[in-house]
Chain A
């Protein structure tokens, strides 16, 4: 009996090892062929993975010596967790897409490389390549004066408005609100209260949930700043929450809900807004250009898009994901990853990507392509986002940015729910942020 068991074990071991050896041989044979792992998130509606796969397949056909293997890693948050685990496990993906706001975190971890050498090596062509990106997007690619990432799936926040509702209340459907005052005035007209005293349609909708509020708030802070100051310094080491302009902006949000009563009270959810807009429950929403496709397909009314209304100035926040290249891999792999990035962000592809997904075309030259011209002619609403980029600034980005986001979102929520006054909320947020940022200064 015992002997039988022993024999059986032996057989299993032998088979096991031979299989293992076989597997090893296989990988050894393939090692002259490079295989790059590429993590990418999807954060908007629609079949975006399909378009990423297509870019990779096209590359792989041209470059069988350096196959790029795309790995879908969930939304932005999931992707960050997966990248972090991979880095800590010393097995990073060769290249990945992550939020532009992650650049300081990537830098302090020593997880990614600067791209300046590659750009310099490409000579004049390299410089032209970088210069062709929209400045509003390129702005948040720098850490300590070096280029750390390349813009890819980039978006900005625009105003979607229901033209039919505008006509219904006697507003000109071709002149959306341009200022905060007009926003209040139009919203008041657009808000419709039923005979039972319940609101049937709100004038305006802004997302206030954690992870979204900071984005919209960046826009309002910029619109209310004297000289276009953002919520942070450009080096990501100073945070400016507690400024008079920001307090006014937060007060304005509070007033939209409580004083003018033109916005749904409570924590308005980012993901609910497009649905509410499409079903006519809200007449104007602040949302990402990434949802343009969904809105234009599903709207059974005429809709328009516009620049965000300004106050002291006109401004909007940018957001979205950039390409990064990992540090812990061989220079040959880094070189091929760079070639792939240039391939994926070429003028033609930047244009096609924008048309496929609703993201904003990242390059100036993309505007001149025939497909982009045709797209804008067919869907003029898409053009607004592109035109707004010159007055747009990066969203809240700093060292320890996820913590800063959380601090700001918590303080916005405490003001919205009436737990604290806007001034108190931002004062507390500033104190908390300063304490965290001290170690970087």
Chain B
């Protein structure tokens, strides 16, 4: 009894050693670029560490309570939430719509449509932002020229506090919808065509087929797409830097830009770290919450 046990243990040991060795490169980079920065941010967020201070000075949760009491912080959080809602929901439905449209194997020119829906994704955000900046330019930009041609007043989309976020959202949806389309498309193409044939034979209307069969079967894709779209919308900062710098009066300041501002304009690492922790918690909640709640209800085939 003893000997095989020993051998078994040795095998298990050598197997786990192998596993560790195989994991080591990934783990190393994960620790260096994910775990360590998180711990470091958590540590710094409990300190005061401004320009000119030699060492961080422990102040407990003061950075957090300061932000909680700051009007500007809540304005930024509200902007962030609004921007996420205004981008994720439309991008989700437009992406799904695009995918349904181009989900035909043999239609003529389908490659062209797929490419044209997808190409904004290939462009760097900086380039997109620069182009849209010109389109939104006050009075001389395309949008305002169109309004003038229609005989209306120019909108000056980026200088108006009520239009600046929607204007940024339109741009972002334009880009993100094509990206989400790819996921929906691959989801749609992995579905078994027999199910749809059966539905057709049973006389189910296209709308009913979509609601009762396509959508439920797409649930794993939907979950993935929602999480990706939500986190993507939070992870973006380039367009703010290029197009508005948060103007007018922080009406377009989003959380990540706010972090950037504290970290690299004010050089207040401690406050930037505290905001980073807030961001981290939001990101974790989005992904964890969704996985835990919906995982059980989803049918994976």
Interface residues of A (CB under 8 A from B): 77, 81, 84, 105, 108-110, 196, 198, 209-211, 264-269, 272, 276, 281, 400, 402-403, 406, 410-411, 413-414, 416-417, 419
Q: How far is the CA of A263 from the CA of B272 in the complex (A)?
A: 37
Give the 6 A-B CB pairs with smallest separation, nearest first: A266-B159, A108-B52, A267-B159, A414-B249, A266-B156, A413-B248
Interface check B138, CB cutoff 8 A: yes
Closest chain B residue to A420, Cβ basis = B249
Given A108, A267, A406, which contacts B248 in the complex, CB threshold below 8 Å? Answer: A267
Q: Is the CB of B266 within 8 A of A419?
A: no
| 16 CB-based A-B contacts, threshold 8 Å | A109-B52, A110-B52, A198-B154, A209-B247, A264-B138, A266-B158, A266-B159, A267-B159, A267-B247, A269-B138, A281-B139, A402-B265, A402-B267, A406-B266, A413-B248, A417-B161
Given B140, B249, B265, B266, which contacts A413 in the complex, CB threshold below 8 Å? Answer: B249
Q: B27-71: which residues lie under 8 A (CB-CB) from chain A?
A: 51-52
Closest chain A residue to B245, Cβ basis = A210
Q: Is the CB of B249 within 8 A of A77?
A: no
Q: B105-131, CB under 8 A of A: which get 1 and which 0?
A: 000000000000000000000000000
Nearest CB of chain B from residue A90's CB, rounded to whole Å:
13
Q: Is the CB of A417 within 8 A of B266?
A: no
Interface check B151, CB cutoff 8 A: yes
Q: How far is the CA of A46 from the CA of B139 in the complex (A)?
A: 27
Known contacts being A198-B148, A272-B137, A402-B265, is A410 close to B250, with CB within 8 Å? yes
Q: Is the CB of B246 within 8 A of A210?
A: yes
What 16 new A-B contacts, CB under 8 Å, besides A272-B137, A276-B140, A281-B140? A81-B264, A84-B267, A108-B51, A108-B52, A110-B52, A209-B247, A264-B139, A266-B138, A266-B158, A266-B160, A400-B266, A406-B266, A413-B248, A414-B248, A417-B160, A419-B248
Give chain B's interface secondary structure class. Answer: loop
Most central of A105, A267, A281, A413 by chain B CB within 10 Å: A267
Closest chain B residue to A276, Cβ basis = B140
Residues of A within 8 A of B161 (CB): 417, 419
Interface check B226, CB cutoff 8 A: no
Q: How far is the CA of A196 from the CA of B153 in the complex (A)?
A: 10
Q: B211-230: which residues lie under 8 A (CB-CB) from chain A?
A: none
Q: B3-26: which residues lie under 8 A (CB-CB) from chain A?
A: none
Interface check B261, CB cutoff 8 A: yes
Q: Is the CB of A265 within 8 A of B156?
A: yes
Nearest CB of chain A from residue B269's CB, rounded to whole Å:
9
Closest chain A residue to B246, Cβ basis = A210
Residues of B within 8 A of A265 (CB): 156, 159
Q: B244-273, CB under 8 A of A: which get 1 and which 0?
A: 011111100000000001001111000000
Q: How far is the CA of A264 from the CA of B249 in the complex (A)?
A: 18
Residues of B within 8 A of A410 (CB): 249-250
Residues of A within 8 A of B156 (CB): 265-266
Residues of A within 8 A of B265 (CB): 77, 402, 406
Q: How far is the CA of A406 from the CA of B266 in the complex (A)?
A: 9
Nearest CB of chain A from residue B202's CB, rounded to whole Å:
58
Interface residues of B (CB under 8 A from A): 51-52, 137-140, 148, 151, 154, 156, 158-161, 245-250, 261, 264-267
Nearest CB of chain A from residue B44's CB, rounded to whole Å:
13
Closest chain B residue to A279, Cβ basis = B140
Nearest CB of chain A from residue B126's CB, rounded to whole Å:
14
Nearest CB of chain A from residue B145's CB, rounded to whole Å:
11
Residues of B within 8 A of A109 (CB): 51-52
Q: Is the CB of B151 within 8 A of A196?
A: yes
Nearest CB of chain A from residue B25's CB, rounded to whole Å:
16
Residues of B within 8 A of A84 (CB): 264, 267
Residues of B within 8 A of A196 (CB): 148, 151
Q: How far is the CA of A268 from the CA of B247 in the complex (A)?
A: 11
Q: How far is the CA of A417 from the CA of B264 in the complex (A)?
A: 27
Given B51, B148, B248, which contacts A417 in the complex, CB threshold below 8 Å? Answer: B248
Q: How far is the CA of A109 from the CA of B267 in the complex (A)?
A: 11
Q: How far is the CA of A108 from the CA of B266 in the complex (A)?
A: 13
Q: How far is the CA of A198 from the CA of B149 in the complex (A)?
A: 11
Q: How far is the CA of A413 from the CA of B253 in the complex (A)?
A: 13
Q: How far is the CA of A400 from the CA of B52 in the complex (A)?
A: 10
Q: Is the CB of B139 within 8 A of A403?
A: no
Nearest CB of chain A from residue B286's CB, rounded to whole Å:
29
Closest chain B residue to A105, Cβ basis = B51
Q: Is the CB of A413 within 8 A of B261?
A: no
Residues of A within 8 A of B160 (CB): 266, 417
Residues of B within 8 A of A400 (CB): 51, 266
Residues of B within 8 A of A264 (CB): 138-139
Residues of A within 8 A of B250 (CB): 410
Nearest CB of chain A from residue B244's CB, rounded to whole Å:
8
Nearest CB of chain A from residue B279's CB, rounded to whole Å:
20
Closest chain B residue to A81, Cβ basis = B264
Residues of A within 8 A of B51 (CB): 105, 108-109, 400
Closest chain B residue to A425, Cβ basis = B249
Nearest CB of chain B from residue A10's CB, rounded to whole Å:
20
Nearest CB of chain B from residue A338's CB, rounded to whole Å:
24
Q: How far is the CA of A116 from the CA of B222 in the complex (A)?
A: 67
Q: How far is the CA of A403 from the CA of B159 in the complex (A)?
A: 22
Residues of B within 8 A of A105 (CB): 51-52, 267
Q: Is the CB of A209 within 8 A of B245?
A: yes
Closest chain B residue to A275, Cβ basis = B140
Closest chain A residue to B158, Cβ basis = A267
Most central of A81, A110, A413 by chain B CB within 10 Å: A413
Q: Is the CB of B52 within 8 A of A416?
A: no
Residues of B within 8 A of A269 (CB): 138
Residues of A within 8 A of B158 (CB): 266-267
Closest chain B residue to A418, Cβ basis = B161
Nearest CB of chain B from residue A148's CB, rounded to whole Å:
14
Nearest CB of chain B from residue A154's CB, rounded to whole Å:
23
Q: Is the CB of B266 within 8 A of A402?
A: yes
Residues of B within 8 A of A416 (CB): 248
Nearest CB of chain A from residue B8's CB, rounded to whole Å:
26
Nearest CB of chain A from residue B155's CB, rounded to whole Å:
9
Residues of B within 8 A of A211 (CB): 245
Residues of B within 8 A of A108 (CB): 51-52
Q: How far is the CA of A417 from the CA of B162 in the complex (A)?
A: 10
Closest chain B residue to A194, Cβ basis = B148
Q: Is the CB of B52 within 8 A of A210?
A: no
Residues of A within 8 A of B249 (CB): 410-411, 413-414, 417, 419
Nearest CB of chain B from residue A250's CB, rounded to whole Å:
13
Most central of A77, A210, A411 by chain B CB within 10 Å: A210
